[in-house]
Amino acid sequence: MLTLAQIGCGYWGPNLLRNFSAQPDARVKYVVEASAERRRYVRDNYPQTEAVESLDAVLADSAVQAIVLATPAATHAELARRALAAGRHVFVEKPLARTIGEVDEIDALARARGLTLMVGHTFLYNPAVLALKEVIARGELGRIYYLYAQRLNLGVVRADVNALWNLAPHDISIFNFLLDAAPVAVTAQGADFLQPGVEDIVFATFEYPGGVRANLQVSWLDPQKVRKVTLVGSRRMVVYDDVAEEKLAIYDKGIDAPGRDHVALPFDQPDTARLVYRSGAVQRPKLPTTEPLHAAARDFIEAIRDRRPPRADAAGGRAVVAALQAATLSLRENSRRVQLEEILRASAS
């Protein structure tokens, strides 16, 4: 039985508490929460869990083996450092930290002490994303041309981070997972309508190896809730819509250039008469109903038990933070194209 403590039970904390409490081989002994109202919520709904104000008291209890962090992003690195230094495994809600340097510091600490460090990129456990990963691996989509994602809603507006840091970690982690790569360059632009210096909307383009581009739009100011990723390949196209009842749709659509392996003709040879337009069937595969956060909690527990890295490991978290840092620099410098190597060099100096 793994004994855990959770720090924070605000907006996302209740979801983590519910899923970790539901694990058959784990128990959440404590929740650390400064708010009296949120402590009361824990006591009313999870009587087996003690709601306390002090992290010190939790770290002093040798029965606690792992810590789950559900606190504001700016606190992740320091709290993870304290928990790891005290010999506890750590699950950190996304993003893992605010800089690559912070990620490297806590990752090095976890490695030195033989502890599990996991980041809450829950979409890596989403059945639709996993099914799409398998479709790509089988080569059904052909050559990947481009991707784009939209993560939009009216609220929840944050003051501690902008829409990029709040929403984009999800889609960057999906992009990286599907493409088995990290971006090499980023261009971003945004606007701050509600709070000066805090972008409510951001548009970003992530350039991946092989010429693949992934566009992303995130916003707190949109009339509709949209959670969608579209992937266009030379053979097929896919739409993953997390809001829809049938979340994955595979389209047998495309434009073929016979004899050129589905690669578009050069502009100096516009032989459009040879292009073949396809519009076939749409597949909507049946997906498991497993809650992604439940699967993520399971992976954390099993990674500790089996002494192996979790799927959402520190390396993946580092790649997401690096992309966010590059996009932030692009935002601050009038949408300058920022190469990831520039961010990595700066963090190493």
Q: Residues of CATH 3.30.360.10 domain(s) within the chain? A: 124-283
Residue 269 pLDDT: 53
Per-residue pLDDT of the chain (349 residues; tens, 9 = 90+): 999 999 999 989 999 999 999 999 999 999 999 999 999 999 999 999 999 999 999 999 999 999 999 999 999 999 999 999 999 999 999 999 999 999 999 999 999 999 999 999 999 999 999 999 999 999 999 999 999 999 999 988 998 899 999 999 999 999 999 999 999 999 999 999 999 999 999 999 999 999 999 999 999 999 999 999 999 999 999 999 999 999 999 999 888 776 555 444 444 555 655 778 888 889 999 999 999 999 999 999 999 999 999 999 999 999 999 999 999 999 999 999 999 999 988 877 7
Q: Where in the chain is the domain with CATH 3.40.50.720?
A: 2-120+292-310
pLDDT value, residue 279 = 81
Say what the pTM is.
0.92
Instruction: Enumerate residues 6+ apart whose C-beta is below 8 A from 244.
Output: none
Looking at the DSSP bridge assignments, the partners of residue 189 are: 203
Q: Tell me the per-residue pLDDT of 286-322, one tens digit each, with 9 for 90 and over.
A: 999 999 999 999 999 999 999 999 999 999 999 999 9
CB-based burial label for 339 (10 Å; 0-12, 13-18, 19+): middle
Q: How many angstroms separate the Cα of 296 from the Cα of each of 56, 98, 99, 300?
A: 27, 22, 23, 6
Q: Which CATH class is domain 2-120+292-310?
A: alpha beta
Which residues have C-beta within 8 Å of that of residue 217, sequence separation ≥ 6?
148, 149, 150, 151, 152, 201, 202, 203
| Cα–Cα distance list, 176 to 30, 133, 147 (Å) | 34, 11, 11
pLDDT for res 265: 44
CA distance 308 to 118: 11
Joined tokens for residue 319: 């790649």
Q: Cα 312–54–65 angle (5° rounding)? A: 40
Instruction: Look up residue 292 and give its two tokens.
Output: 């992604």
Preceding peptide of 239 cis, ω within 30°:
no
Q: Specify whether the CB–CB gap between 92 and 69 falls below 8 A.
A: yes
**Shortest CA distance to 81 belongs to which of 35, 29, 117, 49?**
117
Closest CA relative to residue 1, chosen from 310, 304, 309:
304
Domain 124-283: homologous superfamily in CATH: Dihydrodipicolinate Reductase; domain 2 (3.30.360.10)
Strand order in the sheet with 237-241: 276-283, 248-256, 237-241, 221-233, 144-154, 213-219, 201-207, 185-191, 338-339
Strands 213-219 and 144-154: parallel
Residue pair 249/239 in contact (Cβ under 8 Å)? The answer is: yes
Residues 6+ apart with CB under 8 A from 208: 175, 179, 181, 182, 183, 184, 214
Q: In whole angstroms, give the CA distance from residue 306 to residue 318.
A: 23
How many CA within 13 A on the CB side of residue 294? 10
